[in-house]
Each structure stands twice: as C-alpha cells, then as structure tokens.
Structure 1
C-alpha cells in the first residue's frame, strides 16, 4: 500500500502551540527544550575552541589571535543560530512542525505542480542528516570520556572501550522509549550550561580583556592576517554551531516560544561565557601549557565530577540526535521517500515517542565503527561539519522559497537575505568540504547512499504505479458493468486497499476472477499523506458512493501521524457509514516483483535495488494497524 500527497491548510504559530502542547506550562516546555533541543550544541565547547587553537602556526598565542578566534566563534553563533535559525527558520513552521522534510513539504504547497528541485533539496537534506547522526554520538561521547585522561593519565587506553560501552548502552535503551529518561534531560542539561557558564565567568573575571572579542573587527583581522590557514580555522569555528539544526527539527515537540526563551535565557549566554572563559584561561596560563582548555580550566578537585557531568550531557546530545533520526525516517516513509519500516510507539501519552529497530541497529553499528576507526575526537572532528553545513545550505534554499511564496517578502529582501547567508552558509560548506580527504568523505558517502536509496525508491514506485495503471481496468467501468450484471452477493463488508483512485484494485479483480462473488458493501480505500504534519479528524475521511454496492473512501493522514486505518475508519461513523470491524474483510494485493529482460545498466541496478527495498519493506497489515485476522492477501506477479 502506498501514499499520495494532498494539500493541507497551514495553521498559525500560536494556535499550533496551543493545540500541540495543551496545558503544558511554559517553564516546563522551556526546560524540556534545554535538554532535547540544545543538548548537541551544548557539547560543542568541549572541542570547538580547542580545535580552532590547534590549527594555528607555532605555539605562541598572542592576545590578537585569541581575540580573533573568539570573535569568529561568537559571531558564528550570533549570525547562524541566534539570527538565522531563531528569528527566521523557526517561523517557517508547517502546522507547528519543523525539519528539512517539513520545510520541503511547506515549500511544495505553494506550487500547483511542485518542481523536482524542491524534492531533490529535501532528499539531500534528509540524507545528510543521517550522515550527521552517525558522527554526533561518536564525537560527543568520545570527547567527554577523553577528559578521563586528565583525571588519570593511565586511563588513556581505556577511553575508546569505555566510549563503546556507553554508546552500546545508549542504543540498547532506545527500545524502552525516552519518555521516562526524558524528564531528567532538561534539569541535567540546565545544570551543564550553568556550570559551563559559571567556570567561564570565573576566568573572565581573571582576564576581562577577552570581552573585546565581541568586536567583529578582531575576527576579520584574524582572517586577514592568517589567510594561509583561514580556511582550516573556519572549519574548526564551525564546530561551535553544529547542533543548530536541532532548533528547527524539534520545533513540533516544544513550540517556538520555549525554544527562543531557552536560547536567549540560558543557552546563548552560557555558551558565550564558556568560550570567553576558555580564551581567558589560555591567555593566563599560556597555550604551551594547555591541551584541552575546556577541561583544564576547572580546578583539580572538580575535574572528576565535571567529566561525569560532561559524559551525561553528551549522552543526552546523542539521544536527541537518535530520536531525530527516528522522526525523520517516519516522515520520509510517509512522504514516499523510503519503504515502510517497523515503527513502535513507546508512549501512549506523548506524541513523537517512537522506536525503529532497523534504523537503531544501522546507526549503532555505524557509530561504533566511527569510534574504532578514528579513535579520538580530534580525528573525528575532521569528518564533522560537512553534513551539518550541507543541511544549512539546503535549509536556506527552501527558506528562501517560503519567504517569497508563503510570506510574500519583496524580491529585494529575499535576494539580500539569500546573499548574506549564501556567503555564511556557503562559506562554511566550502571550508568543511576541504575536510573530505581527512575523513569528511564518511558522511558524504552515507548521504550519497541514502540519497541513492530514496531516489531508487521514488523512481521504482512511479514506474510501478504507471505499469499498474496501464494494466488495471478503470474503476467506474467495472462498477457500471457489475451494476448491470451482478454476481452473487454475500453478507459483510469488503475493503480493498489501493493507491490509485482511478483504477480498479488488483485485489478486487482477482477476487471476482477466483471467488465470483461480491460483498454487500465494497469499499475502495485509498490512503493519502498530506503535506501538513497533522490532519484534523473532521477532515481525515471522505466518503463517496458509486451505488449501493460500491463506495470510495479516502483517508488522509498528516506526515507526522501514525497511519492507523481502523481508528480512521471509526471516524466514518460520523459521516453515516455503519462500520463494524468484526464483519469486515480487508483485501490487500501482495506484489511479487520480477526484473524485465530489456533494461540498460543504470535501469538494471536501480530496479534490483527497488525490488530489494520492496521485499524488505514492513508488512502493510502491521504498518496500517489492520487486525491480522481480518486480512485477505492476494498475490500477483509484476515485471518491471
């Protein structure tokens, strides 16, 4: 069973938050946003300033160099996160939902026939998120555990094994859901930010000169006087803003207001204080005496507890990324970008709490390989950034479409905004592209592979749909002929699932051919996916009668909703349809796909990949929550 798209009406931001979050208080939502939304960017201070300092020539750190690096980090955070994402990107909500695929769906709504390049951008952004998700847990947890080397130098050889055990534990608990652990994410991450800000403030008081880094002139001067390493330095500076995309991805869970309050009320100030504190510490003790300023700036007595706190913070950051992958995959399946997969809901009360065993296993294996292959957070940092910067470029392109066509911005304003961030985001993407040889090829390879899967799946589905339409009998023609010459009619209701609203379902044709009977009620059911994340109950089901024997029912789900057919059909009672699940049979076509003889080399491997994906897709009965005892599957063979 497949989906099609239909338009949905956007709702206002305030109304969306009220509908989504009900009576939840603003302070609790803000605290939750601190834990889930900002866990990733909150761990960036562990390695961002360290890597930026490491690429300087020589060992001497002049005040000009420290101020320059701090200025670049500060303004990267201000322009990319505070200005672009908080003020603009989070406003581009699709009925309250965010993320690359949600933004793609929002942009597609503005076209009668959406151009292919918008879908291509959505595919590229989603594919790069998978690449990012395989690096973030590895670099975050590994960078925190490396703090043990400062507490006990003889623990160096245990850093990688301990990291592997922690990562295995993180992925193992996914099956239990994050609902129970999630309640402590916010408080722990809030403590993390407060501790980071406090130690940073302590060192700023020791050397307040570093506050001059607020002047962007120092960053520009650094790039001008270090032109030979500017490219590499900006790649390290970009590490400070990795995690910014989480503001948009998790928009639907918390709403815009809590995310904005959390950023300006706690996260942004504490990040700035910590980065400035690291700079002050380096100037006070001398760079030749510093290996990891983030950890070494703490007193010896606090180092052990702080390493433990850092490890918890990185686990939370990893958890947020893993949950994001589950949500993204669910959206991709609903939008026909990937085949059906098993989706397990781990909470009856909180939406979005899902677990996907296949995705969990794949991501876990890749993260473990990353840790073992690279062995240190410094080595992994070479591979980090290219996927995130690519997502930012995709987000910018889709945002410009929304600005012009949804928000009705004047063309001059769209061009000005686009040029500004083409320089910033495009520059970050360019500098991170230079890391491809050092390890950046890993997320690129992952993104290309996922893109290949998505393109092959979409192409195969379209080709299969065209072939099916050519072979099927028009439904209206069949209904007219059956009305003139009725076969034997038996009691009960038969529901035939089909993605084609015009053709007669294959299961219906084969049922007539072999059984030569009709039920007293025959329902042609089509499931569609809206470009809106959720569809109101009163708009979810439409019913049209062909005659007394045949009815057309269209069920529309939002791309963030669980496609539960029995629950949706229960809504049809309000429309006058007397529906009894116990006297209803669901007829599904199970297609066995075979390769055709005439195909070129590209078509050959693409068809093979599509057939493999189709065979591994989860069962339609399970995916649509149809009672297994009410399902009749009729097999057919198709040559593609």
Structure 2
C-alpha cells in the first residue's frame, strides 16, 4: 500500500514538474528551426544542411540538458534547493576572503542575466504562438501584435492572485502539448524516415567541417532549442531531482526530438513550409486549435520564468544583494508561491515595450540567447568549483570535465554575442544593470555596517555600567533591532539621550539570513542573557524564508523568554545616509545606494512588526 502511494505521489510530482519546469524548453519547437532556416540567417534548405542542423540540436539536447544539467549540475543542491544564487553560495562556502570575490561576481552576473532573459522569454514565446494565425490566413496578421499584448498583460495582471488554482492545469495542459508535439512529428517522419539519420553525430561533424563559419553563425539559432535548461536546476527545490529527470527522459525529450525531426522531414518534403514549419506540420483543420494550445503552452512557459524571477528576487533580498521590498505569499500551502509587485509591474512594462519594439518573434529570436548562454558558462564554472571544493572530486576529473562543458558553452555564447547589434544588447544591458544594482547595494550595506561599527560603543562595558548606575526604569520590554552584535544599537543610545529612561527588560535582536533555504523551528533563535535585564537574541532565516517578528517572539517563548506584545515596543534606528568623499565607494555609486535605501521597504513592514508597537529614532550616517 505504501509503495503504491509512493508511486502515485511521484507521478503527481512528475506531472507538476512537467507543467512548470519544462514550459520554456517545451515551447522551443515553435521557433527554433524557423529561425535556423527562415530567420535572419536564411540557411540554404539542402538535405545536408537540414540533417546537420538536426544533428546539432539532437546532440545539444543530449550533451547540455541530459548530461550537463540533469546528470551533473542537479547534484549541486543546497538542502534540495537549486538556482544560480544557490550555486554561487555553495561555490563560496569553502573559499574565504578575496578568493571568493570572483565567484560572487559570476553568481550575480548569472542572476542579472536571468532578469534579462525573463524580459525576452514571454515576449518571444507568446508572439511565436499567436503568429500561427498567419498560417490560418494572412488576413489575421494585423491582429497578432494586439492579441500578444493582451495575452501578456493578462498574464501579469493575474500574478497578484497567485498561481495555485491555475497551476493545477499546468501539468495536464503540458501533457497534451507534448503528446501533440510527438504526434505531429511522427506523422511527418513516416513520410520521410531518412531524416532519422541525423541521430548520427557524423552529420553535425560534416556540416561543421564543410561550413565552419556558417556553423558558428547557426549555433546562435540552434541554442534556442535549449533555452529554459536553467529552469531544471532553479526549480529543483520545488520538485526534487527524480521527478525532473523522469519527466525529461520519459516524456519531454522524446516529444521534442520527434517534433524537431518531423519539422526537418517537412522541410525536406516541402521547402515552402520554412516560413513556419511548426504550424505547417498540422493539417489545415488543426492549425487554429494548435494556435490556442500553443498560446496556453507559452503562457505556462512564461509563468514559470516569472515565478522564477520572483524567487530569485526574494533570495537576493534575503542574501543582502537587493533592498527590502514587498513580498506577498499567494498560497497558504505552497511556501514557494510568492508575488513581488514592483518586479511584476516593471516586467510588464518592459515586456510590452519589447513586443512593440521588435514586432515579431523572428526579430526577438535574433536578440535571444546571449543571456541564456552567458548563464550556462557561469553555471559550468560554479558547478565544477563545487565539485572540486565541496565534493572533493580530484582535479584530474574536474578540470577535463570543465573543459568539455566549456567547449560547448563558449562557442554557443560567442555565436550569440554576434547578435549584439540585432537586439542582443537588450538582455545583456538588463543583466549588467541588475548586476550593477546588486553589487552597489551589497557594497553599500557593507560600508554602512563599517561606519556603524566605527561609531559603536562596546556592548559589554555599556551593559555593566547601566546595571550599576541605571537611569529611570519604566515598565515593559524594549526590543532594539540591530544589524550587528558588536556594539550598542544606535536606537538604544538615542532613547537614553532623548528620553532618559530604560525599560525594565531590554532585548537586542539581530535577524540573520543563512546560506541555506530553510531553518528548522528548533534552530530559529539563539538567546544570550547579558545581565539581569539585558538579553541578546539572534534570529535565523533561510534565503527562501521571509522574517516574521511574531514567529521570532513565539520561538523565544519556547526558550523561556516570553513576550507580551501589548507590553513590548520595537525600537528601530532610521538612518539618514549622506554621501561623502570618504574612501569606500565612488561618490556616484554612493548616491545610487542612498536612493535605493530611501525607496526600500521599511523594516517594520518587511519584518511584519505591528506598526502600533514601533518607535523609530533617526540617525545620520556619513558613507
């Protein structure tokens, strides 16, 4: 009975993974071969070229997705969690000091590239699906762009309601989608089974040998077949390795290969189908229903990357690479389902601008890939660092493995770098901008803590002095939030200076984010008693958790430090930051950090502290 239940649970998780994880890579057949032969490249439609490109796609799916990501990168988990920032954290875990700085830079670049990718993915996916209307009848062409904008706007507008209810449909819809991909491909392969010869790597090798420069250019379009591979790793925490691998090897990979080979067979049989080989696979009566199914599939693919960018943003906030911002939980059951309003609306604006600017999926595909392949290169470097440092794999194994993966990743990235003038600058610019903002915030926070520590009064002697010569004591508990354990909180000093009183119980609370996704409740807080009336509380959260003041107080109560919320006050120092010429950070970057700090979510809201229990005391800090 247990075994049956286990199999049913695995089947359900695998179905869910099919819907969320494989949406992006699963919709790649909509535009990959179209761009190889009918896009800006306009590769000649010869039998050798078709077989050569199909062979490149086949081996790309095997080597990059099946071997690199599913067999190797998925091993690098942080308590089951994946993603580029998680990988960066793991890679830096056993490396200290300045030697860890390049790894942090790579991780943040990868995170920035993901933001660039998420602007392009919904636009190119939805546009490529709705462009199927042009296959139904050219008269519908004027409606493609408005319909795409309506679908995309609707997608972002429903984000605040959460995806719990809609998400239940993701798996079944994607099952229908992948079955349709396979069926359309098989029908055409039967007409020209010779296309299956592309499984042999010799066709890719011969194509490369005969047309080396043309092959290099073609890689920029071939890579579209594996966009979304990063999602396999990023979503590991939601589904686990086994369901993701099962869904790929038993369902997704066969369906994709059948469809790509089917499109190849169609191009050999009917070269005029090059304008949109995916939709020409279907009989005339089925094109319109296929457009509807494709649109649903691309919306699901877009939802997956939008959810991914929400998760990445929360991780960046918790790890100290972004300012505090509003994070809403949209499900009582699923901890991973969150909504970040400011990110959602900025993405909506960016995606609509991109659609209006590029006008077609072909133009967008020309800009697509540089961020994806850049992240792939970074993933290779970080994951092999984890293998060497964390898993203690021998150098004789790790370095050849890294070289083999970079031998694939670097040409793909270099080929896509040629797209810079065709729009590739857009995702790259977004990625670099996000990298700059994250590094500025991180450095600014470090500088702020340095300045606070410079002015800090040692805690130990201060507490002893207050206990020996106390000011006027008042009833209740004062909780002082502070970012450091080393000195007296500024809010405590200001309270003594201006109010000249001290509460009968004083608690200094520091909230820390660890480099693991979740912290068990029994390890939530660490309490230290400093004197008769002074306590120090450290609260620990994982990078996928949102701090909650109520939760911290409840955890303290379980360790014999109870709180009466109506008799407790939270004291916070509200710093006014002033840019100066002091060494630490360029003046112009300091001004940007000051602006980000002013627009950050107030600590009371972020830590969910009751507003009627908060006292804020101002302090000026010169950076």
Do both share a fold (TM > 0.5)?
yes
Q: Which residue of 2 is the match for residue 634 of structure 1?
A: 617
- Are the counterparts in 1 of residues 554 and 562 from structure 2 also a CA contact under 8 Å? no
Superposed CA deviations along residues 127-155 of structure 1, whole A, max 9, x for unmatched, are 00000000000000000010000112111
Give the aligned partner of residue 277 of structure 1.
262
Which deviations, in whole Å up to 9, do the C-alpha atoms of 1:171-193 show, x marking residues without a partner?
Answer: 00001001111000111011100
Structure 1 consecutive aligned stretches of length 4 or more whose deviation exceeds 4 Å:
21-24, 55-60, 599-602
1:340 matched to 2:328? The reply is no
Give the corresponding residue for 2:475. Answer: 491
Q: CA deviation at 1:304?
A: 0.5
2:350 is aligned with 1:366: yes
Task: Specify whether residues 75 and 56 from structure 1 end up closer, same or farther in structure 2 by C-alpha distance, changes over 3 A only.
Answer: farther
Q: Give the secondary structure class of the aligned counterpart of 2:296.
A: helix
Does the CA contact (< 8 Å) of 1:123 and 1:451 recur in 2? Answer: yes
Alignment check: 8 A CA contact 1:523 1:552 kept: yes
Q: Compute the displacement of 1:522 (Å).
A: 0.7
Distance 1:242 1:229 in 2: 21
Residues 56 and 229 in structure 1, CA contact (< 8 A), matched pair in contact too: no
Residue pair 1:60, 1:288 contacting (<8 A) in 2 also:
no
Q: CA shift at 1:58, angstroms?
A: 7.4
Q: After superposition, what is the alpha-carbon deviation per residue over 1:389-437, rounded to whole angstroms, capped at 9, x for unaligned?
A: 0111111111011101111111111011100011111111111111111
CA-CA distance at 1:283 after TM superposition: 1.1
Q: Residue in 1 aligned with 2:521?
A: 537
* CA deviation profile, 1:523-568 (whole Å, cap 9, x unmatched): 1101110001111111111001111111111001000011112212
Q: CA deviation at 1:594?
A: 2.0
How high is the TM-score relative to the length of structure 1?
0.94
Match of 1:261 among 240, 246, 251: 246
Q: How do residues 35-54 of structure 1 correspond to structure 2 at under 5 angstroms?
A: 35-54=19-38
Q: Is 1:528–1:554's contact at 8 Å kept on the other side of the alignment?
A: yes
Give the match for residue 75 of structure 1: 59
CA distance in 2, matches of 1:601, 1:637: 17
Match of 2:431 in 1: 447
What is the SS of the residue equivalent to 1:75?
A: helix
Relative to structure 1, the CA distance from residue 367 to residue 22 in structure 2 (aligned partners, 3 Å threshold; closer, same or farther) is farther
Aligned-partner Cα distance in 2 for 1:120–1:201: 46
Structure 1 residues 132-531: aligned runs within 5 Å: 132-285=117-270, 287-531=271-515
**288-297 or 373-382: bigger deviation:** 288-297
Could you tell me how far apart the structure 1 residues matched to 2:301 and 2:227 are?
Answer: 11
CA contact (8 A) 2:48 2:207 kept: yes
Answer whether contact 2:474 2:501 (CA < 8 A) is retained.
yes
Q: CA deviation at 1:573?
A: 1.9
CA distance in structure 1 between the aligned counterparts of 2:6 and 2:100, rounded to whole angstroms = 37
- Go from structure 1 to structure 2 and tell me whether the alpha carbon gap of 1:58 and 1:134 turns closer, same or farther (over 3 Å shift): closer
Q: CA deviation at 1:59?
A: 7.7
Where in structure 1 are there 5+ consecutive unaligned residues?
1-20
TM-score (norm 2): 0.97
Structure 1: distance between partners of 2:31 and 2:584: 46
Contact in 2 for aligned 1:37/1:246 (Cα 8 Å) = yes
Could you tell me which residue of structure 2 aligns to residue 6 of structure 1? none
CA deviation profile, 1:441-495 (whole Å, cap 9, x unmatched): 0011111111111111111111111111111211112111112111122221111
Task: Classify the secondary structure of the residue corresponding to 1:40.
Answer: helix
Return 493-502 or 110-119, whichever deviates more.
110-119
- Deviation per CA, 1:11-64: give whole Å up to 9, x if none: xxxxxxxxxx99981111101101100000011001101111236987852221
Q: Compute the displacement of 1:604 (Å).
A: 1.7
Q: Does 1:87 align with 2:71?
A: yes
Distance in 2 (alpha carbons) for counterparts of 1:466 and 1:165: 49
2:587 corresponds to 1:604 = yes
Q: Is residue 2:607 matched to residue 1:624?
A: yes
Checking the alignment, whether the CA contact within 8 Å between 2:529 and 2:536 is kept in structure 1 is yes
Equivalent pairs, count: 618
Change over 3 Å in CA distance of 1:58–1:520 after alignment to 2: closer
Q: Does the CA contact (< 8 Å) of 2:38 and 2:275 recur in 1?
A: no
Contact 1:591 1:637 in 2 (8 A): yes
Q: Give the aligned partner of residue 7 of structure 1.
A: none
Distance 1:22 1:115, change over 3 A: farther
